[in-house]
Structures are given as C-alpha cells and as structure tokens.
Structure 1
Amino acid sequence: MATAVATAIRHRRHLALSLSLRYNLAVVALLVAFLLLHAPPRAGAQPLPWQLCNATSGNYTEGSAYQANVRALASALPANASSSRALFAEGAAGTAPDVVYAVALCRGDTNASSCAACLAAAFDTAQQLCAFNRRATLFNDPCILRYSDQDILANVTDNRGMFVAWNYNNVSAAKVAAYDAASGRLVNATADYAAADPVRRFGTGEVGSDDATYPRIFSLAQCTPDMSEADCRSCLGDIIRRMTPKYFVGKPGGRVFGVRCNFRFEAYSFFSGRPLLQLSGPSPPPANMTPPVTSEGRTRHRTGRILAITLPIAGAALAFIALTCFCFRRKRTPANKASSLPFSTNPDDIQSIDSLLLDLSTLRAATDNFADRNKLGEGGFGAVYKGVLSEGQEIAVKRLSQSSRQGIEELKTELVLVAKLRHKNLVSLVGVCLEGDEKLLVYEYMPNKSLDTILFDYEKSKDLDWGKRLKIVSGVARGLQYLHEDSQLRVVHRDLKASNVLLDFDHNPKISDFGLAKLFEWDQTQDVTSHIAGTYGYMAPEYAMRGQYSVKSDAFSFGVMILEIVTGRRNSSFSNSEQSIDLLSLVWEHWTTGTIEELLDPAMRGRSADDLLKLINIGLLCVQDNPADRPTMSAVSVMLSSETFSVQAPSRPTFCIQETDSAADTDLYSSAFRSTGDSKTRSVASPNEVSLTELEPR
C-alpha cells in the first residue's frame, strides 16, 4: 500500500512538472510571438516575407466555397495589378457568407513581371503560413497582399495591422541629432511627394548627411493609389509621427509596413532607379586635421588642443572682418542694385531667399510700372498688383509702401516662411525684390482671387456648388495639417480667414499671408503674446482675450470659415445688420432646433442632408470653447474623407459679439500688411461638457 501511494505521488509530481514545463513553454512562445509582432527582429534575423494571420476570425475548410473564392482572386489580381499603371488591384469574389475581399499593391519602382510574380507567390505563401485562416496579410518586397472576409475595400484609410523594423546599428552619439533631423526631413518630404503623385501615390528621395559613416540617406513612401492625396498624406503622417520617436531615433534605417501606406529610409540605396526627389544636404565634412598620435603623443595632443582653441577664434575674427567689409560695401551699393535684406536673419534664411531674388526692372515691366489698372487690392502696409513676366507667367506682386516702416517684421516672417514651405494648398512664392527703397514679394497669380470675393457675392457664389465648397474646405484642412504637423517647420498661421484663402483656376484653395505666423518648437504646444494681431470674428477666444495661441487657434478660425462656406454669410455681417446675433450663435440656434437648412446658402441646397450636417458638425467642433476639445487638422481630414466615421456631437461654443470696422475687407494678397485697429469684444462663455478624442488609427 505504501509503495503504491509513493508511486502515485511520484507520478503526480512528474505530471505537475510536465504541465508546468508545458505552461512555461507556452508562455514563452506567446511572448516571442508578441515581440515578433510588435518589435520586429534585427535585419536578416527574420527575412521577408512577413505575415499577419487572424485565427480569431475563423477558418475555412479544404474544398470550401471560401477557398475557391481565394483561389479565384489569386488567379486574377496578379495580372490586374501588373497591367495597371499604378501596379495596384483590388477585388471581391463570391457571395455572402463566403465572399472574399482582397487588396494587392506592388512597389512603384518595380516592373510588371516582378509585380505579377511577387503577388502570385504571395497568395501561395499566405495560404501556407496562414493555413485556412479567413484573413491573411503578407508583406514582401516588392509587393503587399491582404485578403479578408470583411469588406476591406470600403475604407481606404484603414491601415491596421503593420510591421515595424529597424537597423540595429546606431548612429554615433555626436551625430544623432543631425542624422535624425536629416532623415526626418527627407521622410516627410518623400511622403509629400508620394501623396501628390496622382497615379501611383509613390515617391523616393535622397538627401546628404553630415555623418561620415552615413553620408547619404535614401527614403521611399507609398500609399494605395485609390487613396486621395489628403488621405495618403494623413496616413503617412500618422505612421511617421507615431513610429519614428518610438523605434527610429538614432537608427540609420527603418521601415513601417502597412497595407494602405508604408515608408522606409536607409543609409544606402534600396530602390530601383534614381530618386524622384533630391533634397539639398550639408556639405561633406572636412578631412580630419588632428595630427596622428605617435610616440610624441603629449606634444601632438597639446598641439591639437591649441589648434582647437585658436582656429575657431581665428575663424570668428575672419568672419567679423568679412561681415564688416560686407556692411561697408552695402552702404556704397547704388540704389538701382539689389541690396541685402532690410533686417537681420540667419544664414539658412538668406540662402533660401537669395535664389529667389528678382530685379526691380523685371517687376516694373511685368506690372506696367505698377499701373493702377493692375492693382488687385490695397491694405495698410501696401498694395498688390497683377503682372505678367516675360515668359508669360502671371504673378501677383505685393509692394510694401515706401512711406511706411510698418510691416517689416511681417514681411520678414512671410518671406522666410513661404520660401521654406512647399505644399499644393499654400500659395507659392515666385520671387522677392529688395532694391533701394522697394520691398516686393512675388506670388503665383490666382485667377479666382480670394474666397471672400466669390463666397460673399450673391451672383458669384452661385458658381460655388457643393463639390467646389467641399474641395475648398478639404484643401484648407490639408494645408493647415501640413503647417501644423507635416512640414519641416511647425507653423501657427494666426490669421486664417476667407480673404486669406486664394483660389486657382479650378477653385483649388491656397492659404496665403504668413505675416502674422509664428514658429513653434516640435515639443511646444502653445505660446502667449501681449500683442494681439489678426482679425476679430476669426480669433479663438483664448487668443482674443488672453493672447494664448496654438494650432488649436487655427482650428477655431478654420471652423468659422467652414460655417461661412456652408451659409454664405460673413461671421461679422450681423453686427452691421438688423440682427444682433453673430454667425456662430445663429448656427447653434438652428442646429439645436433642427432648422439648419434655413441657413444654407442656396447653392448648397439639394445636397444630401447627411453631408451638410456632417460639415456643419465639424465646423462646430472646431469652434469649441476649450482648445483641447477642438480636433487637429489630421483628425479633420479623416472626418472629411471618411464615409463611415461617426463625428462626435459638438457642445455649445463660445459666442463673441464684436463691434468692428464697417469697411469691407477687399485686400486679396496683403491682409498681413494691414494695421490692426482696436475692437471691443464681449464674450459670453458657456459650459462645455464634451471632450474630443483625437483620432489615432491603430
């Protein structure tokens, strides 16, 4: 009996030990799987392809209708994608409950045969690695494949399910900041290029680095071509912002694989052909001038220290002498020669501007010596003239008044910012002229002038149908998103309004007038000023009353403009009419009583009520009292482009009843050159109990 009991105890201990070992192995396996998914291995440790299998969605069986539908797509999509200009195909096969949806994308630098071969292999590999799973994703070079029993074709912005990988080498500690800045600038610029490509949504780029180990950086960005430009830039911007600080700081290369958008950067060329985008980079570092260490190490190290001290001093002295000579020569420069800037700025700014210098004689000829018939508008700081350059390009010339010293800081700000910023929804700077007493900025000419000249004109506004108005709203949102989140600078405009949105021939909007703009550091969220400048009626309450401004201040101005676009009414028009209520109050009143259609501009009627209510909803969210409750511009872009996203209900906004100048705002390009008059502002605050969760697709 005792022997039997002992045997039973030993058997139970052995069984417990076996179960414990199996449990621990299972835990380790799950942990390894989690790490492989969320922190990909070093390059080469797990070669491509990488797969994502969703076992929780259920399985199909051998010989089932679902398997037949997967195989039908496998025979059709590789040929469809490889024969398309964009190397992209999507499709569905079968009927519910066995319908299969698929998306197939090849890299923009590959050829048709490689694309077809990669996708054909991807279907086979996915069915092996994700055996009988109803949902599978396969990432490979040069193709990406996803099939699912869910309708993945309905939402082109759904980029869930990604792989992140990075180079396990490290950039030298002394070079990390410079390398990360160069790679970040390149990645964002390449994303802009890809988003702007109307056919492939694909871009490659190259930039120089000041790291001798990694002298060049290369990048690639791509979206599925069925995405709009705004959706593509939003998708890329999201993964760049979220993944870069977490995984790529101090790394010479990395990539994010997503089905709808992806990007990659490396310290070597990894794509076919020449880069589509080339950014100027720093000059190669000078040769190492420190004497080699020999047996006379102490003497040579001492010599090196002496050189390290004296050379910078000598360089500074030479720079001072050169600057003195430059200033002396500048004083002797004839009035008809281009002079230096009439203000101090840094060397990078000067280099950006020097390439844009134009002769005064050229602009006099273009504008017929600034003839009155060519005047487009006039503000407190000067006038704007239409002109035509000798090669036929139409331009708008902003001319600072010679009799006024006002606006120099605004001119400097606008000149430096617009020279550095490049986006299809920002007005482009053609050139600058600074000769004698003349200070002129030259922009691309916008044939449809500014939004306010059409929107608030009874006859002209009839031409602004729903499609054009939505295009304007979406374009301005993209331009602000670029300023706030996606450009190499972080800019708060501070004077966004209808008169500062210019329209090209096709009514594409371009934000103008950066004279009041402010630069933010990347970790800065807001700032305070004692000098309130801008336009009442568009100012956020925290800025108008306390001088606090941020990207959410621009969101408020954007919201006011949305409500103006939908109603065709100026926010300030009621102070000069029989009504004593401002536009925000009026919209809110009709919103809560369900009579919003009474406020719609006649050109907007006949459009889907859901579309209109959604746009007004977004406008009201943007004018919330608390800046934290206003959406970011990337969130706005998602709201505008998504058909299925549920927009949060707004709460009652702050209403500001203002007494303003009755003079019409007729300046098209130069509101930043207008002196700001005093305005009395009364505000009535209301409680805000609703917060907005900023969108972050996962």
Structure 2
Amino acid sequence: MDHPSWVLLFSHVLIALCFGIAQPQQFCSNKGTFSVNSNYSNNLNRLLSSLPSSMAENGIFYNATVGQGPDKVYALALCRGDLPSEKCYSCVNATSQAIKQQCPNKKEAIMWTDSICLVRYANRDIFTKMEEIPPFCVSNPNNFSGDFAKFNETLHDLMAKLITQASSGLKFATGYVSFTKPIYGLVQCTPDISERDCEICLQKGMGEMESCSGGREGGRILSPSCIVWFELFRFYEPAGTLDAPVQFPPGPANLSPQPPSPSSPANVSPPNQTRNKNVIIIAVAVASLVTLVTIICALFLWRRMKQKVENDDEMKRLESLEFNFSTLKIATNEFSNDNKLGQGGFGSVYKVWRNWREGTATNLIDETLRGSPVSDVTRCLHIGLLCVQENVSDRPTMAAVVLMLNSHSWSFPSPSRPAFLLDSNTDTGLPPLESDTGTTMQDQSTENPQGTAYLSPDSNSHRLRHAQ
C-alpha cells in the first residue's frame, strides 16, 4: 500500500472514532412507573437479562414477552445488519443494563447505543407496529464544502434506492454512489414490521435528515423502528451483495522501470537513506493527522458545550416570564373587569372543544390571522387541546410539544375532553357539557359561598372541589 492510501485510510479511521464518541440516545417514557421488587420489575429484569443470549441464538433481531395482564412486559433488541455476532452480543448486553440505570422505574423506554444496537421495552404491545417517534438526530460536525445542490440530489438518489431495496427485502441495505468523494449510505428497519411500514419509516427518517444534518458531511436518524445514515467515509462493514463494491479511479499505467544511466551514479539513493525518508514521511503524516483529529474533536466538544449554554440561557429566559399570584393580583388591580382583555375559563375552552368536535375549528381563527396557513393554526389548536386534557397522564410533555411544533410529518392523537373552570355566576349561553356517564357538568357542580364551582383537572372522573 503506498503512503497516500495508507494515510487516507488512517485518517478515516481516526475521524470515525472521534465522531463515534457519543452518549447513548435514550427516551424514558412518562406513561407509567413501577416499584422495586414488583411483579413488573421482576418480569422486566428477567426479560432484559435474557436478551443478549437470545440475540446470539437468533441473529440481529429478537423480541419476547414475560408475564400476564398489567405486569406483562414486551421487549425487543436490534443490531445493525453489518455487525459481527460478538459485537452485537456486547452491545445488547451493555444496553440492557444501561437502560435500567438511565430510565429507573419507567414502564417504557428506548435506548440506542453507539448507533449500532437498539433495546426497547414497554407495558404495551410494541411488536409489528411502526413507530417513528421519538426520532434521535446525530449529525456529523463537519460542514460540506462544494456544490451542495448537486450533493443533495446525489444523496437523495442513493438513499431512495437503498430504501426501496431494504423495504422489499431484508429490511437492511448499504451502498455508495460516486461523487467528488464517495457517499456511503445505510438504512435498516426492525424485521417485524411490514414492507410498507418499513418504507414509510425510512422515508420519514430521510425527511428529518434535512433539519438534522442539512449542509453537513453526514448524519443519522435513529427511531424506534428504523435507522437512516449517510457519511462521506465507509462506516459499515460490507457483507456480500448488501453493498456495492467501492470503485477507485484508475491509477497510472504499469510501466517497466528504466535502468539508471551509467553516466550518473549520483542519482541512485542508498538503501539506508531511502528507509530514513520513508520513516520521516510516515512520522510527519501521523503527527499531522493526530493534530488534525485533535482539533476536530475539540471543535465538536466546544460546539456541544456552546449548545448546552444556549439551552440553559433559553430556560432562564423562559423562567423570567413566570409570574406568581401576588404579582398578577397587583398588576390587574385585584383582577378588575377594567383590565379584562377577553373571556377565559369555561367559555373559551368549551368553544374550542365544541368547534373542534363539530369540525368547525377554523371559525375560531382571528380575522388578523386569516392570511396564515389554516393547517398551521389548526395544528396549534390541536396541540393546545392535547395540553389541557382532563387526564393528566394523557397530556404531552414539554419535550413532546417542542417536537410537535417543529415537525409537520407527525400524526397527533385525538384530544380527549379538556379540564374546565365553570363560573356559576356567568351566563355563557352554552349548553351544559355532558360527562361520559350521561350526566351534565351542572348536575355534578357545587358552589362555594362566592358562587364559583371548580372542576378538578387532575382526576379521571368529573369530581368538583370548592374554592378556598
């Protein structure tokens, strides 16, 4: 192997190692918890401890259940299709232990480790179901330099072919396409989902790639059911026909060496001198590469620290917008009607809920917003209703709300009945709201001496409490 090829290979390995140093990507659901030594806890420990050995026997994918009824645990594990069996075992073994530490007492959790293996469990059936939420984004820190429009077009053509190949076959495909530098791609789905669901999951992952790694030399989207990944270096192990052979440009013609001229013996270098030159070239190349990789790693860590500082500053800015009750009381002059800007409480929420159920939510759009896209306004109303559902456990977390506001590709769940505040001294002009049992809120409401009845928002039933 000549020196330039050796140096290029070594640089790719070092950059890949630097880029690969990343924290596991995990999601700990808030939909339920369990206590230590409970039946669910024992079933979960039993199932997670069996995953590594089961993967060694079954290949790159395995799913199983333990328990019955509310204590039943569903779990699955997935390794990247090009991963050797021993690395798959090690990754699943480490992840099965880490997920319990990172998500203690959670009834549902997901964890990707080094983007090469996935472990997830839940107290609901997660098998044969395509789920792309939550997606994890891991972006290459290097910006692409060159004709980005042509690069983007070439990348999408490559990934489209790989998506078609994977969804219609082994649920895994790798390949490359020639560009100024070869572009390498990898796509994979969990084998238990259908071909159509695999295709949808990978296409949505590629759609998320623009916001995740637009303008970068590489990136990956990790979701519960699939993975989409591209780089400008080979980051996977080719296996048989799953990867097209890498083609290098043709080298110079193989010419026979010419004998040295007898009249110029000074042009011939002694063997020791040639070896010394080789050692110097290798030493300089290695030192340069180590320096370059160190700089790249430092820039990557600096970028992550800067992003964390910016996030902390944003949280502080948001916290500065919070007001306590005393401040609001003074600012509104004892909540005087002279300072009232509009109707709140039961009336406004009920109008939104009623129009939503009747399919006339666009009637609520203010005249000044009529020029805005109706779908954007409707999406905000949808998210708002999800956030005020009566059952607190059904409400999305702030992290989920941020993801909903930034993505147009998600399908939101239908909102359930919101929690309400009912002022019995106020004539809203609206019909009484029926509960799930057929009785009305007015039948169940009670009044305090000031004439205000409250519906408790943190209960699954329509219980009312007196205002103090």
Q: TM-score, normalised by structure 2?
A: 0.47
Q: TM-score, normalised by structure 1?
A: 0.32
